[in-house]
């Protein structure tokens, strides 16, 4: 019997997982909230709009063999309810930690993983206190529901009063010191149910306005000891949370040090290059892990670069060539929205950086 996988969510990550699982004989269904845009998963499986208790939802999904997620903002109680019917990977307790920035940071701290200095902020007084005790600039990030730089404020000496007046304390925040990083990198790994861990080569990332714009892998300038440090942090996290599936750890590189910024408990944008540039894509390895199959090799084929299409799109006729591959998500165009990405491959970092620069000019300056 082929595995039936239910995914919570219906965005591009759900789409790319299904597109990699279908050739392996897997079947998919998707659980969405009322009104959620499901265009990305059109024709890839049954879409169920959430209604009723966990047992009803499990049946409406078609009694899947395993449930997984494509996003962090999920209802943990629902996942726990679904666990009575089938395995849920990653497990809801792990997802509960990573869904909340403060809990995530406290959990990382308990593993002695270095982070930027931070404080919990739930009131105007807390924020005033954080502004006094943390070095500016400060990033004020919502505890939950933050992504792609949304729900964040960058506070400098000049705008502190303005932000104090503008911020709502209906929800909780984390205030974090600015990190003068040299580079941002991410570490991606898959962990199987038997405890096996497979690490992808580290990725170097460049963000614009808090959103990932470009990635290059393997990361050109990490030392062997920095890579070993990243692997140690990530494997400690995976083991502590008894995690099964793909995970991404976003980091700042400061001198020789690696500071962890945040954890994404799912397949991640900085791993999209793996679909063309690694022996096993991150999507396939996530599916293999949650379906109890052996993990595939994470080895890179040459060097890869990834360019996000943010609010802009492209056609295959405009961009594809021998070394350039286009993936579109099937969404309607909106400013800043992730509409697709381009992967370029090459034999050297210079090669790939040059190809990325040409693509960036072509799609953003068209």
Is the CB of 250 or the CB of 284 nearer to Mg ion? 250
Cα separation, 92 vs 286, whole angstroms: 16
In the complex, least distance from residue 205 CB atom to ligand ADP, rounded to whole angstroms: 7
Give the bridge partners for 118, in sequence order. Answer: 176
Strands 245-254 and 197-199, bridge-based pairing: unpaired
In the complex, least distance from residue 225 CB atom to ligand ADP, rounded to whole angstroms: 23
> Does the footprint of ligand ADP cover residue 207 (CB under 6 A)?
yes
Cα separation, 164 vs 158, whole angstroms: 12
| List 250, 258, 303, 329, residue binding ligand ADP (CB under 6 A) | 250
> Does the footprint of ligand ADP cover residue 72 (CB under 6 A)?
no
Cα separation, 19 vs 355, whole angstroms: 26
Per CB under 6 A, which region of 13-21, 83-91, 142-150, 290-298 contacts ligand ADP?
Answer: 142-150
Q: Can you say how many angstroms the Cα of residue 79 is from the centroid of all Cα atoms in its chain?
A: 19
- Residues that contact Mg ion, how many (by CB under 5 A): 1
> Does the footprint of ligand ADP cover residue 284 (CB under 6 A)?
no
Q: Which residue is nearest to ligand ADP (CB)?
A: 179
CA distances from 280 to 71, 189, 295, 349 (A): 21, 12, 9, 21
- Residues that contact ligand ADP, how many (by CB under 6 A): 16
> Does the footprint of ligand ADP cover residue 265 (CB under 6 A)?
no
Query: Shortest CA distance to 259 belongs to which of 137, 112, 110, 120?
Result: 112
> Does the footprint of ligand ADP cover residue 210 (CB under 6 A)?
yes
List, as one string, the DSSP characters of 202-246. PEEEEEETTEEEEEEES-TT--HHHHHHHHHHHHHHHHHTT--EE
148 — alpha (psi -120 to 50), left (phi > 0) or beta? left
Q: Name which of residues 223 to 262 contact Mg ion (CB under 5 A).
A: 250
Per CB under 6 A, which region of 10-18, 40-48, 105-113, 174-182 contacts ligand ADP?
Answer: 174-182
Instruction: Output the six-digit token pair for 222.
Output: 């990490």
Is the CB of 38 or the CB of 129 nearer to ligand ADP? 129
> Does the footprint of ligand ADP cover residue 184 (CB under 6 A)?
yes
Query: Shortest CA distance to 99 belongs to which of 253, 264, 209, 291?
Result: 264
User: Which of the listed partners (ligand ADP, Mg ion, none) does 144 bind, with a CB threshold of 5 to 8 Å by partner kind?
Assistant: none
Is the CB of 184 or the CB of 284 nearer to Mg ion? 184
- Where on the chain is the footprint of Mg ion (CB under 5 A)? 250
- Where on the chain is the footprint of ligand ADP (CB under 6 A)? 116, 139, 141, 146-149, 176, 178-179, 184, 207, 210, 250, 261-262
């Amino acid at each position: 019997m082929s595995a039936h996988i239910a995914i919570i969510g219906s965005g591009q990550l759900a789409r790319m997982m299904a597109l990699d699982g279908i050739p392996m004989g897997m079947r998919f269904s998707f659980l969405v909230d009322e009104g959620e845009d499901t265009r990305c998963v059109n024709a890839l499986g049954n879409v169920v709009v959430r209604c009723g208790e966990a047992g009803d939802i499990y049946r409406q999904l078609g009694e899947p063999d395993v449930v997984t997620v494509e996003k962090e903002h999920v209802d943990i109680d629902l996942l726990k309810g679904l666990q009575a019917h089938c395995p849920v990977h990653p497990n809801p307790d792990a997802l509960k930690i990573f869904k909340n920035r403060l809990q995530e940071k406290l959990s990382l701290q308990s593993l002695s993983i270095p982070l930027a200095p931070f404080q919990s902020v739930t009131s105007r007084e807390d924020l005033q206190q954080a502004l006094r005790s943390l070095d500016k600039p400060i990033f004020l990030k919502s505890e939950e529901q933050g992504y792609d730089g949304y729900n964040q404020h960058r506070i400098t000496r000049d705008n502190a009063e303005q932000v104090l007046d503008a911020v709502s304390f209906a929800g909780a925040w984390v205030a974090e010191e600015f990190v003068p990083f040299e580079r941002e990198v991410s570490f991606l790994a898959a962990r199987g149910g038997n405890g096996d861990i497979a690490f992808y080569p580290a990725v170097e990332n460049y963000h614009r306005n808090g959103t990932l714009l470009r990635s290059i892998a393997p990361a050109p300038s990490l030392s062997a000891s920095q890579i070993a440090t990243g692997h140690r942090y990530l494997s400690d996290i995976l083991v502590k949370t008894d995690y099964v599936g793909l995970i991404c750890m976003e980091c700042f590189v400061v001198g020789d040090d690696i500071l962890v910024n945040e954890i994404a408990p799912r397949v991640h944008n900085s791993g999209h290059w793996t679909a063309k540039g690694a022996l096993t894509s991150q999507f396939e390895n996530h599916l293999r892990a949650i379906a109890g199959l052996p993990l595939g090799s994470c080895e890179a084929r040459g060097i890869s670069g990834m360019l996000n299409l943010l609010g802009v799109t492209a056609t295959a006729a405009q961009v594809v060539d021998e070394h350039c591959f286009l993936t579109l998500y099937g969404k309607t165009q909106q400013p800043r929205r992730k509409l697709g990405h381009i992967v370029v491959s090459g034999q050297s970092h210079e090669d790939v950086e040059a190809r990325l620069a040409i693509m960036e000019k072509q799609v953003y300056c068209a």
